[in-house]
Amino acid sequence: MPSFRSLLFVPALKPERFARAIASGADAVCIDLEDAVAPADKPQGRAEAVAYLQAARSGVAVGVRINAVTTEWCAADAAEAGPLADFVMVPKAESAEQLAQIAKAAPGKPLWPLVETGEGLRRAWEIAAAPGVQGVLFGAFDYSADVGCTMEWEPLLFARGQLAAACGRARVELLDAPSGDIRDGAALEASTRRAKALGFTGRSCIHPDQVAVVNTVFTPTEAELAQARRIVEAFDAAAGQAAQLDGKLIELPVALAARRVLGRAR
């Protein structure tokens, strides 16, 4: 299954924006039934999502963020919209058992749990490794509110590091939270590069203008690809033993990192 460099959220009650989201260049689009829809409008939001998902779509993956398992709207979201979507995003995930409930309602659909509470972070290892999980999304805004920290990089570094380790162990994708500032492209690029350095494989977006920046950061350059090929070739030529390239030692971890770079080539 293709990986997501970028994922763009679009409100379920704004169907006129669906086509623009598809055309944004994002690898995935997620119709949001949760945060973007007020309680009184949940049935209407679900109906808009279902109507769109039933129609013919482009090649872009289109998923749906349902409401949390603990809410009254979750069951209908999962049963009606889940089977039609390309993937199902599960907010405030706090256990593998919760994900199993959603998998039962939308069998075979890739799951994207959001870790956005202290309890979710405590159980991130089992969540990332749960059956059917394609990737995890860090819900930094809700997480900061839950634990009482600010939204700066340093207070959230521990959570990001834990998620990177959990998803690396489970061999699933990991998307960072979106930036709340849709005008500062330089800041978006800088924070996205920091997330990539930690081990994140992509980032979510809340505005189409953010997509190109995120895609650029998570797409290897021609120079990076060329160097990765040289590293792999040198390591393979050494028959699995340590090799030297440009005066530097090339061992298995370096070769694996190079192979990951090649795997991200578009």
Cα 108 to Cα 23, 32, 76: the distances in Å are 27, 20, 17
Please tell me the distance from the alpha carbon of residue 209 to that of residue 184, in angstroms, as a whole number.
10
Could you read off the pLDDT of 166-208 as tens digits, one per residue? 999 999 999 999 998 888 999 999 999 999 999 999 999 999 9
> What percent of the chain is modeled with pLDDT above 90?
77
Confidence of residue 1 (pLDDT cuts 50, 70, 90): low
Instruction: Please state the domain extents for the chain.
Output: 6-217, 222-263
Name the amino acid, one letter, at 97: E
Could you read off the pLDDT of 65-107 as tens digits, one per residue? 999 999 999 999 999 999 999 999 999 999 999 999 999 999 9
Tell the CATH superfamily of the 6-217 domain: Phosphoenolpyruvate-binding domains (3.20.20.60)
Confidence of residue 265 (pLDDT cuts 50, 70, 90): confident
Name the amino acid, one letter, at 121: L
Could you read off the pLDDT of 109-163 as tens digits, one per residue? 999 999 999 999 999 999 999 999 999 999 999 999 999 999 999 999 999 999 9
> The whole model's pTM is what?
0.90
- Which residues are CB-neighbours of 127 under 8 A, at least 6 positions away? 93, 94, 95, 96, 99, 113, 115, 120, 133, 136, 166
Contact present, 210 and 25 (Cβ < 8 Å): no
